[in-house]
Amino acid sequence: MKRTLLVLVVGLSSACASTGAVPRPFPTAVRPGRSAPASPPAPAGGIDDYALVGTALSLRGVPYRDGGSDLTGFDCSGFTQYVFGQYGITLPRSVREQFQTGRPITPQDVAPGDLIFFSTTAPGASHVGIAIGGDEFIHAPSSTGVVRVERMGSSYWGPRFIGAKRVS
């Protein structure tokens, strides 16, 4: 029986797009009491989107941290950069730069592992997450949140969706 993967989206704050933080090299040190997610090698045809989504889901509960890009805390673009980095894919640091990466995907063609973008604090891309399948995504949603899964079609996210990109 096929399982529908969830759609992931990361980060929900102007901090995501504006910190300019420099990420640490991958892999990063592991937070005490938390083990790093496994990073299987990419298949010959590209990355394994199912594994990438699994890695993102394994980070649920990691706190939001402005400028964060490691297991001590993530902002939205730091989260996506970290997850893709585990599979050898280098993403730019800011949301706006990530929005310029990859090829555009129509909303109907969004698949697990695609980057999902929203306009939350200003015109243009200011928040990013990772599609996990169906109508769901995973992201690092703000200074009061933790990495979590939400619905793209919710009353908050739906009207703020501005595009998706495939980078694998």
Give bridge partners of residue 129 from the DSSP assignment.
Answer: 9, 116
The residues spanned by each domain of the chain are 14-19+41-166
pLDDT above 70 for 15 = no
Q: Decide which of 3.90.1720.10, 2.60.120.10, 3.20.20.140, 3.40.50.720 is the CATH code for 14-19+41-166.
A: 3.90.1720.10
pLDDT above 60 for 121 = yes
pLDDT above 50 for 129 = yes
pTM of the model: 0.76
d(CA 87, CA 89): 6
Closest C-alpha to 128, from 95, 105, 83: 95
Question: So which residues are the catalytic ones?
Answer: 76, 127, 139
